[in-house]
Amino acid sequence: MRLVGQYFAVSYYIEPARQVPMQSVMYRVRKPPCYRAVQSTTGGSRQNARGTAMAAVIGIAVLIGLNGCATLVRNKTDQTVVSARQLSLRGVPAAQQGQLREAEVFFSRASEMCPLDERIRFHYAETLWELGSRRQAVAHMEEAVRLSGGNAELVVRLGDMYLAEGDLLRAALQAESAIQSNRRLAAAWALRGDVLRQMGRDEDALAGYHRALSLQAHYPRVQLATAEIYSRQKRHARALATLRTLADGYPSGETPQQVLVLQGGALKELGRYDAAIETLVAAAKQGPPSTEVLVQLAETQWLAGDTANARLTLQTAIARSSREPGTEPLMAQVLTLQRKLAGDMRL
Confidence bin at 58 (pLDDT 50/70/90): low
DSSP 179-242: HHH-TT-HHHHHHHHHHHHHTT-HHHHHHHHHHHHHH-S--HHHHHHHHHHHHHTT-HHHHHHH
Phi/psi of residue 128, each to 5°? -60, -35
pLDDT of residue 335: 86
pLDDT of residue 169: 97
Summarize the confidence of residues 115-138 as an average pLDDT. 95
Give the lowest-confidence range in 76-90, 266-280, 314-328: 76-90
> How many C-beta neighbours within 10 Å does residue 60 have?
10
> DSSP label at 17?
G
CA angle 200, 294, 335 (to 5 degrees): 80
Per cent of the chain over pLDDT 70 is 77
| pLDDT above 80 (res 172) | yes
Summarize the confidence of residues 290-311 as an average pLDDT. 93
Q: Output the CA torsion 321→323→326→328 (10° steps).
A: 40
| pLDDT above 70 (res 44) | no
Confidence bin at 16 (pLDDT 50/70/90): very low
Give the lowest-confidence range in 166-170, 206-210, 284-288: 284-288
Return the SS3 of 49: helix
pLDDT of residue 338: 86
Residue 105 CA: distances (Å) to CA of 10, 16, 108, 205: 20, 20, 5, 39
pLDDT of residue 133: 96
Q: How far is 144 from 140, CA to CA, in rounded Å?
A: 6
**Average pLDDT across the chain, whole number:** 82
Best CA proximity match to 165, nearest among 186, 146, 137, 193: 137
Residue 329 identity (one-letter amino acid): P
> DSSP label at 344?
T
pLDDT of residue 341: 86
